[in-house]
A = this chain, B = another copy of it.
Amino acid sequence: MSDWLDTVKWDAQGLVPAIAQDAATGEILMVAWMNRAALEETGRTLRSVYWSRSRNKLWRKGEESGHVQIVSEIRLDCDNDVVLLKIEQLGGIACHTGRRSCFFQKLEDGRWVTTSPVLKNPEEIYRK
């Protein structure tokens, strides 16, 4: 029953971008990458699982921070190469900087301006 995974057009690295969108507000919280195993596990567990390109391993979102994403909907675009997750963000923080959303830089008069506050110090989020 993995036909749905065969529909996805993985890129040369075996990845597709995945957007996490707040299911309630529509806010875009982050974009990360998925390989086949990540998407399979996301579909099975309804918790966001990504592929970390920097650490080169599966990244179960929230495994360190507790900021798990509960998935209510999985969508695929017309080209079958971008995934959209509608999620509930536990802890209210998706970004590793401690902000709600990763998209906190807004272009204003030719400069990137930070528009959102840090809700929690990253050092507190990623306690060893």
A residues neighboring B (CB under 8 Å) = 1, 3-4, 7, 17, 19, 21, 25-28, 30-31, 43, 73-80, 82, 84, 95-97, 99, 102-107, 110-112
Contact = CB atoms under 8 A, between A and B. Distances in A.
Contact of A31 (B73, B77, B106): B77
A25 B111 CA distance: 26
A83 to B, nearest CB: 9
B112 A7 contact: yes
A62 B119 CA distance: 39
B105 A77 contact: yes
A22 B96 CA distance: 26
A105 B75 contact: yes
Contacts of A17: 17, 31, 82
A30 B102 CA distance: 19
A65 B85 CA distance: 28
Contacts of A104: 75, 78
Q: Which residue, of A1, A77, A99, has the highest number of chain B Cβ atoms within 10 A?
A: A77
Contacts of A1: 110
Contact of A74 (B75, B80, B107): B107
12 contacts: A4-B112, A17-B82, A28-B84, A31-B77, A73-B107, A75-B107, A76-B103, A76-B105, A76-B107, A78-B99, A78-B102, A80-B105
